[in-house]
Amino acid sequence: GRGIAAKEGQVSKCLIVAEKPSVAGDLAKALGNFRRNQTWYERDDAIIAAARGHLIEIGFNEEEDARWELASLPVIPERFELKVIAGASGEVKTLRSLLGRSDVSTVVNACDAGREGELIFGLVYEYLRCRKPVKRLWMQSMTMESIRTAYGQMRDGKAFAALLEAARSRSEADLLIGANGTRALTKLQQTRSDARDLVSVGRVQTPTLAMVVAREAERTNFRAREFWEVHGTFQSAGGEYTGRWVNPAWQKSADEASRADRVWDKAQAEAIARKCQGVTPTEVREETKPVASAPPRLFDLTSLQREANSKWGLSAKTTLDCAQALYEKHKALTYPRTDSTALPEDYLPTVKETLGQLSDAPYGDYTREVLAGGWVKADKRIFDSSKVTDHFAIIPTGKAPGDLSQAEARVYDLVTRRFIAAFFAPAEYRQTTRETVVQGEIFRSEGRVLINEGWLRVYGRAAGESDEQGLAAVKPGERVANHTIAVVGKETQPPARHTEATLLAAMEHAGRQVDDEAMREAMKERGLGTPATRAAIIEGLLSAKKGLLLRQGKELVPTPKGMALVQFLVTQGLHALTSPRMTGEWEHKLRRIEQGELTRAAFMHEVRSMTEALVRQVKQQAGPGLSGANKTRTSAVCPKCGGQMLADGRQAVCEKGDFRLWREVAGRQLDEEELATLLRDRSLGPRDGFRSKAGKPFRAGLVLGSNLDRIDFVFEGGL
């Protein structure tokens, strides 16, 4: 829309809206000459004000909020209500006042540079019915210089319309599926038992929980199998080494536990040992080849969270909080909520500058080596603009951080070493595979030695080191001695429980097992949630309120409540709520909205259809019949077939099983006469005694929907 012109003689100002007060303070400091004015900053041409994260949320109106009965579901509003979040009225009032000023002609969205930041600003802008033109301040780094650069390169807000549509669609999809699923399943559970617990489900939360429960079920159902290995210990002039008997004819099979060195029959293993015991090997065959290990890719948020969990046991949330503080407070890292592991192709000069600034211990020796060697050059593994969307990989800014907590220091060190290591050469190993032949039986040994440490030097490794399986040398033609042949009994092990590191990987790949880095990149768009939301989803499952997961050391363990929820959904055939792949496809569609390849209308049509199908499935599972012997005949008549209606305290059902209706509506039970009137006339005049979800009493009439599958409220004076 057109801006409101400033009054004659007034200087036109822009209102910059930051996501939180600390960022507003940084903007004022970086841009300069601002004076503090109550809760905002102001200078001649600009005002900076702050939100506190989300100020406005989408929701249902009061009538929709009250609809918890299965017959009245699904709740799918034509338009969602916008509501001020509890405790945010002060910020909203300030922004309303500032936006209304006649000297404010332009609004700048300086909220977090991503989907959620777009939504925080977009909902406030819509709620306050603002029509003034919008510009977007998109910050990759919070150093003073970066803020000033971003301010000089602001874009038209319209360029981010698709990002806002994706954010709004994600928010509405979560509400529709979460609210309808939770209400429908809570009621279904109540028909199956006396349980009155809330059955909490969510679009991303539930399939994530289902993956942890599936792993726990695998462990519970796992039956350990005994197997035997035959180990030989041999002596060469260079020292002692061990080898494991292998079956040269072994091939992969459907049995995942099968290996070339496993013998499933103890007698067979003992026979091999007897045959070879004390016999001098007739031949030692050896193959040695060089193996290179490229430096790992730069971090995106998920890979950083996985590494911090694996190495230091940090939770996904702790790592995100540390990375956010290192970005926002310490200005030492770039924007953390990214899913890119690449940098823009024009970023080489910035990288050289950053490496130059990292000159102090413990990084200076390595950064000087990179710069002196001219190792920063165009390399698609590092610089690839096609792999950069809203944000690039997490790297240091070059600014030395101040007083860091232990966790912050660890996260900073992980990112900085990964960044420096990216420009080093691959590490080179000499890998040896040795076969010692005794009586025609083969004993295999493997070992590797680091020849050129390459990027591993940044992590303190030195050339000449052997890995754990270092191998004593055998000269060509040398006869080796056979010390002992031993049979070792072992058992197959159950699959390990998920840690946050493995669960983040499973979320990123929607449950598919992916180890290859390139494949990981391709799978990202079909993951569960986004890098920015995964930590919150895991924390939500762990929260005492939901009580669905527990932390035991590094392991994530489903609670009995979490196990029961997923088992309940699976037995009811509600795979739309438990399937990681299906939810991953939804995330891919949201990404397509961001890229302008899919319309918001088409996506929301799918969401509504899925919500309707989910509720329909729950209603079918609830079934037309009434359990127990406490059903009684009523005077009410089935509107579908004219049969007699039977009822108990909660529901009424046609004696022929054709039709069913909940008697309890918004906390009020319909008596027999009211039930008969509603079914006969398809409506019932105003009644008192209904209660909203918040517990507030209200008065309303009822109408039976045209498909006879829902009850709607009619308020006096119209809908």
- pLDDT for residue 1 is more than 50: no
Q: Say how far apart CA 39 and CA 20 lie, in whole Å.
A: 12
Among the candidates 604, 622, 640, a domain finishes at: 622
What's the pLDDT at 7? Answer: 55
Cα angle for residues 645, 650, 655 (degrees, 5° grid): 20
Shared domain check, 17 and 128? yes
CA 38 remoteness from chain centre: 38
Percent of the chain with pLDDT over 90: 65
- pLDDT for residue 89 is more than 50: yes
CATH of the domain at 518: 1.10.460.10
Bridge partner residues of 644 (DSSP): 637
Across the beta sheet with 46-50, the strand order is 35-37, 40-43, 46-50, 13-18, 104-110, 134-136, 155-156
CA 687 remoteness from chain centre: 46
Residue 277 lies in a domain: yes
Comparing 123-137, 330-344, 496-510, 611-625, which segment has the lowest mean pLDDT?
A: 611-625
Residues 6+ apart with CB under 8 A from 129: none
The residue-averaged pLDDT of 74-84 equals 95
Q: Say how far apart CA 338 and CA 389 lie, in whole Å.
A: 9
- Is the sign of the CA dihedral 473, 479, 485, 491 positive or negative? positive
Shared domain check, 142 and 21? yes
- pLDDT for residue 483 is more than 90: yes
Contact indicator for 561, 201 with CB cutoff of 8 Å: no
Residue 82 lies in a domain: no
What's the pLDDT at 590? Answer: 92
Contact indicator for 449, 457 with CB cutoff of 8 Å: no
Mean pLDDT score across all residues of the chain? 89
pLDDT bracket for residue 257 (50, 70, 90): confident
Q: Say how far apart CA 615 and CA 179 lie, in whole Å.
A: 11
Contact indicator for 72, 665 with CB cutoff of 8 Å: yes
423: nearest Cα among 295, 300, 514, 337: 295
- Is the sign of the CA dihedral 342, 345, 347, 352 positive or negative? positive
Residue 7 lies in a domain: no
Bridge partner residues of 284 (DSSP): 436
Shared domain check, 289 and 307? no
The residue-averaged pLDDT of 10-28 equals 93
What's the pLDDT at 132? Answer: 97
Shared domain check, 559 and 481? no
Shared domain check, 594 and 701? no
Residues 6+ apart with CB under 8 A from 275: 439, 441
Shared domain check, 378 and 326? yes
Shared domain check, 246 and 210? no
634: nearest Cα among 669, 681, 675, 670: 675
Percent of the chain with pLDDT over 70: 93
Residue 334 lies in a domain: yes
pLDDT tens digit sequence for 412-466: 999 999 999 999 999 999 999 999 999 999 999 999 888 999 999 999 887 666 6
- pLDDT for residue 649 is more than 70: no
Shared domain check, 98 and 182? no
Measured distance between the N- and C-terminal CA atoms of the chain, rounded to whole angstroms: 32
60: nearest Cα among 73, 85, 84, 79: 79
413: nearest Cα among 339, 363, 371: 363
pLDDT tens digit sequence for 166-183: 999 999 999 999 999 999
- Is the sign of the CA dihedral 50, 53, 59, 65 positive or negative? negative
How many CB atoms within 10 Å of residue 115?
Answer: 23
Residues 6+ apart with CB under 8 A from 463: 450, 451, 452, 453
Number of domains in the chain: 5
Residue 8 lies in a domain: no
pLDDT tens digit sequence for 621-636: 776 543 333 457 788 8
What's the pLDDT at 646? Answer: 78
Residues 6+ apart with CB under 8 A from 601: none
Contact indicator for 411, 342 with CB cutoff of 8 Å: no
Contact indicator for 234, 480 with CB cutoff of 8 Å: yes
CATH of the domain at 107: 3.40.50.140
Amino acid letter, residue 322: C
Residue 2 lies in a domain: no
pLDDT tens digit sequence for 373-407: 999 999 999 999 888 877 899 999 999 998 999 99
pLDDT bracket for residue 108 (50, 70, 90): very high
User: Is 668 strand, coil or helix?
Assistant: strand
What's the pLDDT at 3? Answer: 38
- pLDDT for residue 6 is more than 60: no
Per this entry, what is the length of the chain? 719
Shared domain check, 704 and 645? yes
pLDDT tens digit sequence for 127-169: 999 999 999 999 988 889 999 999 999 999 999 999 999 999 9
pLDDT bracket for residue 519 (50, 70, 90): low
Contact indicator for 644, 633 with CB cutoff of 8 Å: yes
- pLDDT for residue 580 is more than 90: no
**Half-sphere exposure at residue 648, Cβ-oriented, CA atoms within 13 angstroms:** 10
DSSP structure string for 108-175: EEES-SSHHHHHHHHHHHHHTT--S-EEE---S--SHHHHHHHHHT-EEGGGGHHHHHHHHHHHHHHH
Contact indicator for 15, 6 with CB cutoff of 8 Å: no
Helix ranges, 277-358 (H) = 301-312, 316-328, 348-357
The residue-averaged pLDDT of 255-282 equals 95
Comparing 84-93, 135-144, 362-371, which segment has the lowest mean pLDDT?
A: 135-144
DSSP E strand boundaries for 638-682: 644-647, 651-654, 660-662, 664-665, 668-669
Q: Element (H or E) spanning 99, and its range?
A: helix 89-99
DSSP structure string for 171-237: HHHHHHHHHHHHHHHHHHHHHHSS--------TTHHHHHHHHHHHHHHHHH----EEEEEEEEEEET
What's the pLDDT at 716? Answer: 76
Measured CA to CA in angstroms, residue 369 lies from 295, 364, 378, 456, 465 at distances of 16, 8, 18, 14, 22
Shared domain check, 268 and 240? yes
Q: Say how far apart CA 527 and CA 496 lie, in whole Å.
A: 22
Shared domain check, 191 and 106? no
What's the pLDDT at 518? Answer: 63
Among the candidates 421, 451, 480, a domain finishes at: 421
Q: Which two tokens stand for residue 311?
A: 């190495």
pLDDT bracket for residue 194 (50, 70, 90): low
CATH of the domain at 318: 1.10.290.10
pLDDT tens digit sequence for 305-320: 999 999 999 999 999 9
The residue assigned the tokens 């008549």 is 637
This prediction's pTM: 0.78
Shared domain check, 17 and 140? yes
Task: Give the structural domain span for 697.
Answer: 632-714
Q: Which two tokens stand for residue 202?
A: 């969510």
Among the candidates 102, 128, 153, a domain finishes at: 153
What's the pLDDT at 640? Answer: 80
- pLDDT for residue 545 is more than 70: yes
Residue 606 lies in a domain: yes
Contact indicator for 551, 543 with CB cutoff of 8 Å: no
Give the catalytic positions in this structure: 335
CATH of the domain at 263: 2.70.20.10
Q: Say how far apart CA 76 and CA 618 lie, in whole Å.
A: 16
Residue 164 lies in a domain: no
- Please give the radius of gyration of the chain, using alpha carbons only, rounded to the nearest integer: 33
Cα angle for residues 569, 575, 581 (degrees, 5° grid): 130
